[in-house]
Amino acid sequence: MGNVTVVGAQWGDEGKGKIVDWLSERADVVVRFQGGHNAGHTLVIGGRTFKLSLLPSGVVRPGKLAVIGNGVVIDPWALLAEIETLRGQGVAVTRDNLCVADNACLILPLHGQLDRAREEAQGARKLGTTGRGIGPAYEDKVARRAVRIADLADATGLAERVEMLLIHHNALRRGLGAPEIDPKELVGELRAIAPKVLPYCDVVWRRLHAVKRSGKRILFEGAQGAMLDVDHGTYPYVTSSNTHAGQAAVGSGMAARNTGYVLGITKAYTTRVGSGPFPTEQDNALGRLLGERGHEFGTVTGRPRRCGWFDAVMVRQAIAVGGIDGIALTKLDVLDGLDEIGVATGYRLDGKAIDHLPANRMAQPRVEPIYETLEGWRESTRGARRWADLPATAIKYIRRIEELIEAPVALLSTSPERDDTILVRDPFAD
């Protein structure tokens, strides 16, 4: 039995939290490998709702090891706050079930301040970030001036890292008219929080290799979605990390050949939060209906999500680039009762048919979807747990999606409840 990597195949918010939680019952370790606390995963377990941003979804399951890999940027204050929230819900988070990579980079208060200042300065052209400092933290990582988890254990080295960091950030702050940061104050804040964070610190790549050698199963949990990938998404309206499955290896220290079956999560329709192109968006009564039925509000931001028809072109592109082996189709029940359902099967750009979303940011908003109209169904699919419980027309819709995206449906979700899931093909068996 192999490992599984779960990634979003749209613009995030596809329902990865529930699918990861469902799969984690058969996994021993759950690993986050990119992003930060801009992610939002909602789990509904036994009538209780858990909202996670930074912690891997497996942390709510007894007997599982949750791992935050080096590809994640970590706000230590947000991490501790999330741990305390879970403890208040009766979930024990200790060094026995949470492991944080010692080479992961930190998000500091100055990163969030810079993020928000930039968005405000952009005005109507803002990117729509969460304002939590994820982008600026990744910038510092790539520029080799970041403070990492391991630095918290070295008092002398920590002060030197902060001095180097502030050479850059105080220059930026002067340009923005913001007050400069006193390095001694920031070092003091980090030294104060270090004893609370360091107990979770470990050499993650070594820990994961030991897990692999022992024959245990690993579930790699992605955040955001394929079309938010910094290289392959709708740039510049993207996140600041690579969201495709290849990042599971780099962001955890596990060899690429060991990351296993790639399961892409996609809704039976499409949503997007924030700015950026959205070819199949329905900015009308239908879009509002989908949003109301699907409770489409961001887990982290609370912002309403933009809604539209399923975009097979975009998902097919995500599958090809990301090496997705099969998909988990979520929120099928939101389409119940519709007479007709649209699916984008191609695009037109300036009157010419194209088969992909172009990289040029000026061309992307001009893309027009080519729709195929499928028959809807009147019966309810909500809560279905067997293929035989689905209306024939709903099955026809699923089969057509498989044809268009050139990948099979491995799992089907029919409500937020974890058990309302139809297993078509077991990812762990591949």
Q: What is the DSSP letter of 343?
A: E
List the structure tokens of 107. Answer: 């998000």
Cα–Cα distance between 41 and 13 in angstroms, integer? 8
Chain centre distance of CA 274: 15
List the structure tokens of 178. Answer: 């913001």
List the structure tokens of 249. Answer: 């290896």
Q: Which of 33, 34, 93 is nearest to 64 (CA)?
A: 93
Q: For 130-150, b where at least 16 C-beta lie within 10 A, e where not — what string?
A: bbbbbbbbbebbeeebbbbbb
**Options 13, 115, 333, 420, the catalytic residue:** 13
Q: If you count them, how many residues does the chain have?
A: 430
**Options 37, 41, 232, 244, the catalytic residue:** 41
Q: Is 35 helix (H, G, I), strand (E, B) or coil?
A: strand
Cα–Cα distance between 395 and 398 in angstroms, integer? 5
CA angle, 35 as apex, 29 and 40 as ends, to 5°? 80
Q: Angle at which helices 155-176 and 109-122 pack, to 10 degrees?
A: 20
Cα atoms in the Cβ-side hemisphere of radius 13 Å centred on 423: 10
Is residue 13 flagged as an active site residue? yes
List the structure tokens of 387. Answer: 């293929």
Catalytic sites, residue numbers: 13, 41
